[in-house]
Amino acid sequence: MNLTRFEKGLKKLSEVDGNAGENVIAALNDIAPDLGKYIVEFAFGDIYCRENLNLQEREMITLSSLMTLGGCETQLEVHINGALNVGITPKKIIEIFIQCIPYTGFPRVLNAVGVAKRVFQLRKAG
Amino acid sequence: MNLTRFEKGLKKLSEVDGNAGENVIAALNDIAPDLGKYIVEFAFGDIYCRENLNLQEREMITLSSLMTLGGCETQLEVHINGALNVGITPKKIIEIFIQCIPYTGFPRVLNAVGVAKRVFQLRKAG
Amino acid sequence: MNLTRFEKGLKKLSEVDGNAGENVIAALNDIAPDLGKYIVEFAFGDIYCRENLNLQEREMITLSSLMTLGGCETQLEVHINGALNVGITPKKIIEIFIQCIPYTGFPRVLNAVGVAKRVFQLRKAG
Amino acid sequence: MNLTRFEKGLKKLSEVDGNAGENVIAALNDIAPDLGKYIVEFAFGDIYCRENLNLQEREMITLSSLMTLGGCETQLEVHINGALNVGITPKKIIEIFIQCIPYTGFPRVLNAVGVAKRVFQLRKAG
Amino acid sequence: MNLTRFEKGLKKLSEVDGNAGENVIAALNDIAPDLGKYIVEFAFGDIYCRENLNLQEREMITLSSLMTLGGCETQLEVHINGALNVGITPKKIIEIFIQCIPYTGFPRVLNAVGVAKRVFQLRKAG
Amino acid sequence: MNLTRFEKGLKKLSEVDGNAGENVIAALNDIAPDLGKYIVEFAFGDIYCRENLNLQEREMITLSSLMTLGGCETQLEVHINGALNVGITPKKIIEIFIQCIPYTGFPRVLNAVGVAKRVFQLRKAG
C-alpha cells in the first residue's frame, strides 16, 4: 500500500508525540491549516521517516536544536514528551541538555531543564 | 591514579578531536591561555567525561547545537572531524544536519553541509 | 509647518499602532522615558517615515524580522495589530509567517501564528 | 498537466534565482542530494508557489528573514539576486534592510548592505 | 585555607545574587543537581572570581550578554537583582540596556527594561 | 554653540573609533548613505553621548553585546580597536569575552578572541 506523505507523516507523528502532536495540528486548523499540513508532511512524513538515524537519535538531535534556538519552550515540551515516548530516559534527556552547556551557555540549559522538570512531574502525576 | 580535571580533559580532547583540538588550545596560548584551560577542564574534563551518553551521542548533540547556533563554522569543522574520529559515518553526519531542517530552516543546514563537504574532501585527499 | 522628529514619529506611530503603540511608550515613562523617545523619534520618525516602501510593505518586513528574531511575542502582538490597522488582511499575515518557514524552521512560525490567533480573536471579540 | 512538487519547485526556482539557485542545488548533488531535493520541493514547490503574496512580496520577506537570522551571507547573496530578478530595484532592497534597523540593530544591516553592494557591482560589471 | 572551586563559587554566588542565586541552585537539586554544581563551580568559582574586572563590571557585561541573547528573562531577573546587590544603580542598569539598542534593536531592550521595571518595583515593595 | 546630532555623533565616532569608524561610514556613501547617517546620528550622536556610563563602560557593553550576537566579526574588529582607543587594555578586552562564557558558551568567545588576536597583532605591527 502506498501511503501519501501526509498519511506517513501522521503515523510517524502519532508514534513520536502521541496526542500532543495531534493537538498542535488541531489547534492550527482554524487559523493556519496549511502550517499543520506542512509539519505533518515535511517534518514528519519526509524528514522523520528517513533512514540512517533511528527515532531515539532523531529526538536527541531535535532536543539539542530546540534548546539551542531558544524561545521554543512550547516545542521543547512536545519533544521532551516525544523523547520519553520513544524510550529515552529522563536521566538521558537531562544529559542531552548538559552536553550543550559548552556551546550554548547556562541560560538556555536552565530554561530547557525547567521545561523537563514540569513534563516529568506531569507524567508522574498523570 | 587520580587525574586532574585538566589531564582528564586533555585525554578526552585527544580522543575526540586529535590534533585539531590541541591546535585550538595551542593557538590560544599567547592571547587567552585560560580560555584554552577552561575548554580542556570544563568542556572536556567535566562535560565530555560524564556518563549517560556515549561519545558518538555526545558528538551528535554537539553538531546539532553548533549548527543551530550559526556563525560557528570553525567549531563545526573541528567537531565534524571529531565525529568522524569517534566513528560516526559521513552519511550519518549529513543526516544529523538534515534532521534539523524543520527546527532551523535551510540556511544553517546549507552552511553546515558546506563545511562537511570541505572536511570530507580534505580527509580523502590527506 | 516643520514637525520635529518626535512629532512626525508620534503621528506615524498612531497611524500604525493606534493606542497600542502609545501604551508601549506610556509604560516606559516612569522607568526609561528616553527609550520611548527613541522609539518614537528613530523607529517611527526616521525609519517608518522614509520613502521607497509603503506602510503595508514596512509592516510586512517588520513582522518577518520580529518573527525571525524569536522571543519578541509582545512586539509581534503590537505589530500584528499594526499590520491589520494599515490594511493587511489576516490571511496575508499568516502567509507572511508561512513564507519564512524555509528560513526559520517551524518553531518560530508556530509561536508567531499563536500570537496572531490571539490577536485576531481579541479584535473579533472587541 | 500535473507537475510534481519537484517540477513545480524547479520552475519557480529558475524564475526567482536563475542559474544561482540551480548552482546551489548542483553543489549539493554529491554530498547531500536530498537537501537539494527538499529545497526545490518544499521551499520552492510548496511555499513559493502559494497564493496570497506575489513573488516580489515573498522576496522582500525572505530578505528580511535572512538578514535578521545573521550568518546567512551566502543565502543573502542568492536572494538579493533573486529580488533583482523579480523586479525589486536596488534602492528598494537597501530600503528593506534599513526598515529592519529598529528590530535587529545596525550590525546585521551593515553585513547585509555589504553583500548587496558586492552583488550590485557584479551585475553591473557582468 | 584552600577553598574548593565549589566553596569559592558558592561564596561568590551569595555575594552577587544573595538568596535568588541559591534558590536557582536549590530548584535544580532533584532534577539536575550537576547543572547547579557547574554553575557554582565554573560560572562563579572559576569565572566570577577572576581578576582584571571588578564585580560591577562583571555584572554589567552579564546584563549586556543576557539581554542580547534574548529569551533569558528569568536569568535577567536574577542578574538585575545581582547588579543592584553589588551597587549598580537602577539608572545605570537602564543605561546599560539603552547602550545596546544600536546592536540589538529595540525589542530585546524593551523586554529587558520590562523585567527591570518589575524587579525595581518588587524591591521597593519588599 | 549648538551642534547637530550628526556633528555630535561624528565627533564621538572619531573619539571612539578613529579612522576605522569614518571608513565604515565612507564605505556606505555610494550604496546606503542614510545608513551611515543613522549610525552617526543615532548610535553615536544620541546613544554614545548620553550620561550615566563613561566611554570605557560603553565599549565594554558594546563588546559584550556584539560577541553575544554572533556573526559580527567586522563590527567586533572596529569596536576592539575602539576599546583600545578609549584606554581599555588588551588584557581587559580578553577578560570581557571570558566573562561571557557562562552565557554564550565557548564558540562565540573563541570567535571574538580570534578577532582580538588579529587586531592586537596589527596594532603592534603598525
Q: Residue F105 — left, alpha, or beta (φ > 0 → left; ψ -120 to 50 → alpha)?
A: left
Q: Using CB atoms, list chains with 3+ pairs below 8 Å to chain B.
A: A, C, D, E, F
Spatial distance between the Cα atoms of F78 and F83, rounded to a whole number of angstroms: 9
CA distances from C123 to C63, C77, C87, D10, D76 (A): 18, 12, 14, 40, 36
Q: In this complex, is the C-beta atom of C102 within 8 Å of any C-beta atom belonging to chain D?
A: yes
Q: What is the torsion angle, in degrees rounded to the nearest 10, for the CA atoms of residue D82, residue D83, residue D87 and residue D89?
A: -140
Q: In this complex, is the C-beta atom of B61 within 8 Å of any C-beta atom belonging to chain A?
A: yes
pTM score:
0.97
Q: Which residues of D touch C61 (CB under 8 A)?
A: 60-61, 64, 96, 99-100
Strand extents, DSSP E, chain F: none
Which residue of A69, A75, A98 is in closest CB contact with B68? A69
Spatial distance between the Cα atoms of E116 and F12, rounded to a whole number of angstroms: 29
Task: Please give the pLDDT value at position E21.
Answer: 79
Whether E105 sits inside 8 A of D101 (CB atoms) is yes
Which tens digits make up the pLDDT trace of C75-110?
A: 999 999 999 999 999 999 999 999 999 999 999 999
Contact B45, E5 (CB under 8 A): no
Q: In this complex, is the C-beta atom of D34 within 8 Å of any C-beta atom belonging to chain A?
A: yes
Whether C74 sits inside 8 A of E111 (CB atoms) is yes
More reliable by pLDDT, F124 or B70: B70
Nearest to D25, CA basis, from D47, D3, D45: D45
Find the residue in C nearest to F69 (Cα): C69
With a cut of 90, say whether residue F126 has pLDDT above it. Answer: no
User: What is the Cα Rg of chain C in Å?
Assistant: 15
Find the residue in F nearest to D115 (Cα): F31
Domain ranges of chain F: 1-50, 53-126
Whether C72 sits inside 8 A of E120 (CB atoms) is no
Domain F53-126 CATH (choose: 3.40.50.150, 1.20.1290.10, 3.40.50.720, 2.30.110.10):
1.20.1290.10
Q: In this complex, is the C-beta atom of C6 within 8 Å of any C-beta atom belonging to chain F?
A: no
- Of all residues in chain D, the percent with pLDDT exceeding 90 is 87
Task: Retrieve residue B33's grid coordinates.
Answer: 591561555
Q: Which residues of D touch A38 (CB under 8 A)?
A: 42, 46
Q: In this complex, is the C-beta atom of A19 within 8 Å of any C-beta atom belonging to chain C?
A: no
Q: In this complex, is the C-beta atom of B101 within 8 Å of any C-beta atom belonging to chain C?
A: yes
Place of cell 536549590: E26
Spatial distance between the Cα atoms of F5 and F23, rounded to a whole number of angstroms: 19
Q: Tell me what the mean pLDDT of segment F85-103 comes to.
A: 98
CA distances from E44 to E10, E13, E15, E55, E66 (A): 7, 6, 10, 11, 16
Whether F69 sits inside 8 A of D71 (CB atoms) is no
Closest Cα of chain C to A36: distance in Å?
9
With a cut of 70, say whether residue D9 has pLDDT above it. Answer: yes
Contact F79, F66 (CB under 8 A): yes
Q: Which residues of A touch D38 (CB under 8 A)?
A: 42, 46
Q: Using CB atoms, list chains with 3+ pairs below 8 Å to chain F.
A: A, B, C, D, E
Task: Retrieve residue D89's grid coordinates.
Answer: 530595484
Q: In this complex, is the C-beta atom of B105 within 8 Å of any C-beta atom belonging to chain C?
A: yes
Whether D66 sits inside 8 A of B120 (CB atoms) is no
Average pLDDT over all residues of chain A: 95
Whether E61 sits inside 8 A of F64 (CB atoms) is yes
Whether C116 sits inside 8 A of A43 (CB atoms) is no
How many other CB atoms are found less than 10 A from the CB of residue B66? 29
Place of cell 576592539: F80
Contact B40, A102 (CB under 8 A): no
Which tens digits make up the pLDDT trace of B70-121?
A: 999 999 999 999 999 999 999 999 999 999 999 999 999 999 999 999 999 9
Q: In this complex, is the C-beta atom of A111 within 8 Å of any C-beta atom belonging to chain E?
A: yes
Q: In this complex, is the C-beta atom of B107 within 8 Å of any C-beta atom belonging to chain A?
A: no
A74-A78-A82 Cα angle (round to 5):
160
Which tens digits make up the pLDDT trace of A79-120?
A: 999 999 999 999 999 999 999 999 999 999 999 999 999 999
Average pLDDT over all residues of chain D: 95
Find the residue in F nearest to E56 (Cα): F57
Q: In this complex, is the C-beta atom of F27 within 8 Å of any C-beta atom belonging to chain E?
A: no
Nearest to E58, CA basis, from F92, C32, B1: F92
Find the residue in D nearest to F30 (Cα): D117
Which residue of D35, D66, D74 is in closest CB contact with B109? D35
Task: Retrieve residue E88's grid coordinates.
Answer: 549598580
Nearest to D47, CA basis, from A35, C96, C99: C99
CA distances from E112 to B122, E73, E77 (A): 45, 7, 9
CA distances from F96 to C88, E50, F4, F8, F104 (A): 45, 11, 33, 28, 12
ipTM of the complex: 0.96
Find the residue in E nearest to C43 (Cα): E106
Task: Please give the pLDDT value at position A2.
Answer: 79
With a cut of 70, say whether residue C1 has pLDDT above it. Answer: no
Contact C88, C56 (CB under 8 A): yes
Q: Tell me what the mean pLDDT of segment B120-124 comes to.
A: 94
Spatial distance between the Cα atoms of D71 and D81, rounded to a whole number of angstroms: 18
Q: In this complex, is the C-beta atom of A29 within 8 Å of any C-beta atom belonging to chain B?
A: no
Which tens digits make up the pLDDT trace of F10-63?
A: 999 999 988 887 888 899 999 999 999 999 999 999 999 999 999 999 999 999
Spatial distance between the Cα atoms of F101 and F98, rounded to a whole number of angstroms: 5
CA distances from D122 to C13, D118, D119 (A): 39, 6, 5
How many other CB atoms are found less than 10 A from the CB of residue C73? 17
Spatial distance between the Cα atoms of A113 and F36, rounded to a whole number of angstroms: 43
> What values do phi and psi take at C31, rounded to 5?
-110, -40
> What values do phi and psi take at F112, rounded to 5?
-70, -40
Which residue of F71, F94, F106 is in closest CB contact with B39? F106
Which residue of D70, D107, D117 is in closest CB contact with F31? D117
Q: In this complex, is the C-beta atom of B72 within 8 Å of any C-beta atom belonging to chain F?
A: yes
User: Which residues neighbour D38 within 8 Å (Cβ) at sequence distance 6 or greater?
Assistant: A42, A46, B98, B101, B106
Find the residue in D nearest to B108 (Cα): D72
Place of cell 500584528: C80
E16-E21-E27 Cα angle (round to 5):
175
Find the residue in D nearest to A42 (Cα): D42
Contact B48, B80 (CB under 8 A): no
Nearest to E79, CA basis, from E68, E92, E93, E91: E93
| Cα D33 → chain centroid | 20
Contact E86, E16 (CB under 8 A): yes
Q: In this complex, is the C-beta atom of D27 within 8 Å of any C-beta atom belonging to chain C?
A: no
Q: Using CB atoms, list chains with 3+ pairs below 8 Å to chain C.
A: A, B, D, E, F
Q: In this complex, is the C-beta atom of C103 within 8 Å of any C-beta atom belonging to chain F?
A: no
pLDDT tens for the 126 residues of chain E, in order? 678 999 999 999 999 988 877 888 898 999 999 999 999 999 999 999 999 999 999 999 999 999 999 999 999 999 999 999 999 999 999 999 999 999 999 999 999 999 999 999 999 987
Find the residue in E nearest to A69 (Cα): E71
Task: Please give the pLDDT value at position C21.
Answer: 79
Whether B102 sits inside 8 A of A42 (CB atoms) is yes
Whether D106 sits inside 8 A of F31 (CB atoms) is no
Closest Cα of chain F to D44: distance in Å?
27
Which tens digits make up the pLDDT trace of D64-104?
A: 999 999 999 999 999 999 999 999 999 999 999 999 999 99
DSSP state of F40: I
Find the residue in D nearest to F24 (Cα): D110
With a cut of 80, say whether residue C23 has pLDDT above it. Answer: yes
35-54 in F: which are within 8 Å (CB) of C?
Answer: 38, 42, 46, 50
Whether F34 sits inside 8 A of D97 (CB atoms) is no
D106-125 per-residue burial string, b: 16 or more CB within 10 A, e: under 16? bbbbbbbbbbbbebbeeeee
> What values do phi and psi take at F3, rounded to 5?
-75, 145
User: Which residues neighbour C50 within 8 Å (Cβ) at sequence distance 6 or greater?
Assistant: D95, D98, D99, F34
Which residue of C100, C103, C107 is in closest CB contact with B103? C107
How many other CB atoms are found less than 10 A from the CB of residue C126? 5
Task: Retrieve residue E53's grid coordinates.
Answer: 574586572
Q: In this complex, is the C-beta atom of B118 within 8 Å of any C-beta atom belonging to chain D?
A: no
**HEC string of A12-42?**
HHHHHHHHHHHHHHHHCCCCCHHHHHHHHHH
Whether F60 sits inside 8 A of E57 (CB atoms) is yes
Which tens digits make up the pLDDT trace of A24-74?
A: 889 899 999 999 999 999 999 999 999 999 999 999 999 999 999 999 999
